[in-house]
Amino acid sequence: MGRKTFLSIGRALPGRINIVLSRTAELDPKDSFWDRDDTMLLWAENRESALFFADVMSITKEKTDVFVIGGAEMYRIFDDLFNKIYLTEVLTGDALSRKPDDAIFDYRIDNRQWRTIETQSLPRGEKDDFPSRFTVLERKTKYVRYIEVKQYLTEVDPKNKWIKAQLDSVDEFKTSNPRKPLRIPYQYRLFSDET
């Protein structure tokens, strides 16, 4: 999810690994990348970081589905990777009823590439302004990202060198900036084979 979506929710969604994509990450040491709890909050500064986290966590947690939940910019950034769409349409009847902070999934659905699996019309509830429609679409030909495992793994010495450098930088930062939030740069490979 994007930063604005995260702030509008106000917390990490429970029982999920939440990856927030933002240019200004708010890292918290208690939200460790390797944390084994059911609820986790990770901040990513770009698409590649978010995908790296999603890849590693889906393998370690044995999960196969990754969801992009908004906002509009997140849909645009990740739209080439969608294989399934869970679409909720609020049936306002006109564009004037839309609020400035409403999330928009501005994705053109080509029926030659997508098939509708399920559609359900929902009447206006007592807390709703409008009725809605929930639709599940599936890509006819699935898109698959292919990454070699060896792109993530290398030898022990470079790994140990990287870990020591990270621990040293954390200690140095804590000593010189006791009140500032800790910001750890993530690496995109688990271990580098460069010395």
pLDDT recorded at residue 36: 55
Residue-level pLDDT, tens digit, the chain, 195 residues:
999 999 999 998 998 889 999 987 766 656 555 555 678 888 898 898 899 889 888 888 888 889 999 888 998 999 889 999 999 988 887 767 777 777 667 778 899 999 999 999 999 999 998 999 999 999 999 887 766 656 556 667 776 776 777 777 777 777 887 776 655 555 444 444 444
CA distance to 37, 58, 169, per residue, from 50 (Å): 19, 12, 23
Listed in sequence order, the residues at least 6 apart from 181 whose beta carbon sits closer than 8 Å to its beta carbon are 26, 27, 28
pLDDT recorded at residue 39: 83
